[in-house]
Structure 1
Amino acid sequence: MRHLADGRDIIYFDHIAAHERLAEDTRDLPPVAAASEIRRDPLTGEWVAMAAHRQTRTYKPPADLCPLCPSRPGKPSEIPESGYDVVVFENRFPSFAQNVPGEPSTVDDLGLVPTAPGRARCEVVCFTSDHDGAFSRLSREQVRLVVEAWADRTAELARTPGVEQVFPFENRGEEIGVTLSHPHGQIYGYPFVSPKTERMLEVARAYVAEHGRPVLGDVLAAERESGARVIVAGEHWTAFVPPAARWPVHVQVVPHRQVPDIPSLTGAERDDFARVYLDVLRRCDALYDRPLPYIAGWHQAPVHRDRELAWLHLELFSVLRSKDKLKYLAGSESGMAVWINDATPEQIAERLRAAE
């Protein structure tokens, strides 16, 4: 681990273990001043984050000024080295950070809305130094290195004060809202357990109490037996369209063994994930004969509780419902969280299986 000019950590993951990274960040950067705050909605019980300092974050820079490319003479970037395989660094515009000032309180001192500093951690993961690359075009070896980075950082963030859940994810494409086109993802260390995870744990707990088995294990077994929604099946992973898919493209990639998080995967499971996931991504890009905009994120167990209920899996979804049409989250979805899909899960799966 090394440090950038403002003191943030930067960690290199290389194919050659003995390779040393010695380049120094020569930029004149002021210290990061995060002012993150979390507030709990009194009507839903869900935590909401406020991070007003992110308004000034980098927005769609030209390719020759990309902050995620390796540094070049006269054009220093977030990565001081002239090249890298995979690199992780602390986000300069984090939604959550360790040095956020303040103490827990309530809004307006009325006691209805608890509030607290957003103390946790956010990191950026660059999947390749190739600005024009894509995760779908990485080699299996490179994907395996990314998995190692995810595992390492998940374990490290789980030891970070204030972090309750670790969420590695990738946003891809302008339609998703991406403002940096270089292939990269992020890792959020949340200071709370996310609302979606809380709901999934509630369902998992009730299912175990009634059936004595994990719900995702039974879903996985049913999907593998039916095959109607399976996209890719490997030795240790199966990718399928969820039977109640919300999005026009929606895939879950699930390990055959119940594990709580990425660090718990074996070497063979990590290898097989690289093969299965690349197959899924390449089918996604072939679906409309264009790069698919998507969000892909890992569902991992909370750091400190309910780890026996969770079943690690990756979820990928896209807002693109045809080559040139987007699915907008309108009244029903945005207002009431009631989803209406324009295609059945079986149709989505058939289209992805046919995409080559």
Structure 2
Amino acid sequence: MASSQTFDPTEHQHIRYNPLKGEWVLISPHRMKRPWGGHVEPLEDDDLPEYDPSNPLCPGNTRANGELTPKYEKTFCFDNDFPALLEDAPSPPKSDDPLFCMDSARGKCKVMCFHPKSNVTIALMKTSEIVEVIKQWINEMLDLGRKWTWVQIFENRGALMGCSNAHPHCQIWASSYLPNEARAKDRLLSDYYRKKGNPLLVDYMQKELLKKERIVIDNRDWLVVVPFWAVWPFETMVLPKKQVQRMQNLTKTQQESLAIVMKKLCTKYDNLFKCSFPYSMGWHGAPTGPDSNKDCSYWTFHGIYLPPLLRSANIKKHIAGYELLAQPQRDLTPEQAAEKMRNLSDLHYKHPETSIYPDEEN
């Protein structure tokens, strides 16, 4: 039965379509009014030392496999000691049964330390240091991308996201196949481009610039928004203002302005609940490998930040129940989340001396 009420997206439940996954998200904003009786996470101690003699990622320490981590002074990358993908592995037998399919999986896994100091996160790094991180990402994309079909850069930040080592670092997994998320995006981005003649994320970026409802950060080269279809409470997407297919296509200027955006975004995250903010983040761009010379005009390079916090530093958004068995659901609307983040200061709540000042951005 149709309601006699006038629809208000901040009050009434509705579903939104995610064109990058072909899925729907349930928005239930009225649930933000309910009292919280669920689990409260213990707060992680973010007062880490600069150097921990027991941490294998700190310069000069020995890792679990006996390898010595060199006394690096800036971004440092090495082969993962416990990789999920190996370059040389036997292939499983082919099966004629569609219910029991297997296929080969090969690849290479690397770890990349952002900074030699354990207590310096992206939010606290100098922009010049973040540029070095981006340059190293590009080097790894170029190197691994010559052989592997997909190169996934990702960072799990904080124990709440399952990170087992607090030293600021990310992982890079290169695979011989397109993972599920990339496979879905590749198909849906291609379908949209074939129908509309423009890259989906370029059209989306331009419409978000006009609407101005979900913008968190807007600078010369980049736009950060809470996506219209976001699942996580304070999820964000980093979009280039000029079409770029892969990270390795970024100009020097785009790399420098991206460093500023990353620092500002992570500072806003820390300021949101006055904590060292946990998240999982990563970058998606056109597939790589031997077949990467095919036309990928439909792909737009972009970043995704997926933080789990909902109401405070110790209340987590759990993906469970309905989300696992039916479809994604969120309470806070993307517009409300974007407004909260947009209005946060660019000065770090705990370490303002590390913040970017306006005269440093140009």
How far apart are 1:63 and its partner, in Å?
Answer: 3.8
SS at match of 1:69: coil
Matches within 5 A, 1:209-228: 209-228=194-213
CA shift, 1:354, in A, is 1.9
CA distance in 2, matches of 1:75, 1:188: 20
Per-residue Cα deviation, 1:206-261 (whole angstroms, up to 9, x for no partner): 22222211111111001111111111111111111101111111110111122221
1:126 aligns with 2:98: no
1:228-307 equivalences in 2 (<5 Å): 228-303=213-288, 304=291, 307=296
Structure 2 vs 1, CA of residues 209 and 75 (structure 1 numbering), >3 Å: closer, same or farther? closer
Q: Match of 1:70?
A: 59
**What aligned pairs does 1:54-93 form with structure 2 within 5 A after superposition?**
63-71=52-60, 79-93=68-82
Identity of aligned residues (%): 27
**Which residue does the alignment assign to 1:159?**
146
Q: Deviation at 1:138?
A: 0.9
Structure 1 residue 103: deviation in Å?
2.4
- Match in the other structure for 1:332: 322
Q: Aligned-pair RMSD on alpha carbons?
A: 2.2
Structure 1 pair 152/99, CA: closer, same or farther in 2 (3 Å)? same
TM-score, with normalisation over the residues of structure 1?
0.77
Alpha-carbon distance in structure 2 between the residues aligned to 1:349 and 1:258: 23
Match of 1:205 among 179, 182, 190: 190
Structure 1 residues 183 and 77, CA gap change in structure 2 (3 angstroms): farther
Counterpart AA for 1:331? G
Residue 334 (structure 2) pairs with residue 345 (structure 1): yes
2:297 to 305, 308, 319: 308
Kept in 2, the 8 Å contact 1:248–1:327? The answer is yes
CA distance in 1, matches of 2:271, 2:140: 31
2:133 to 131, 137, 146: 146
Cα deviation for residue 72 of structure 1 reads 5.3
SS at match of 2:166: coil
Q: Name the CA distance, whole Å, in 2 between partners of 1:76 and 1:203.
A: 42
Distance 1:105 1:307 in 2: 32
Q: Which residue of 1 aligns with 2:161?
A: 176
Distance 2:54 2:210 in 1: 50
> How far 1:319 sits from its partner (Å)?
1.0
TM-score, normalised via structure 2 length: 0.75
Greater shift after overlay, 207-216 or 125-134?
Answer: 207-216
Distance (whole Å) between structure 1 residues aligned to residue 282 and residue 211 of structure 2 = 25
Q: Name structure 1 gaps, 5 residues minimum.
A: 1-61
1:115 aligns with 2:74: no
* Residue aligned with 1:64, SS: coil
Note the alpha carbon deviations across 1:92-134, whole angstroms, 9 max, x for none: 110111132x124246x85643334431111001000101221
Unpaired segments ≥5 residues, structure 2 = 1-50, 346-362
Q: CA deviation at 1:75?
A: 11
Equivalent residue for 1:317? 306
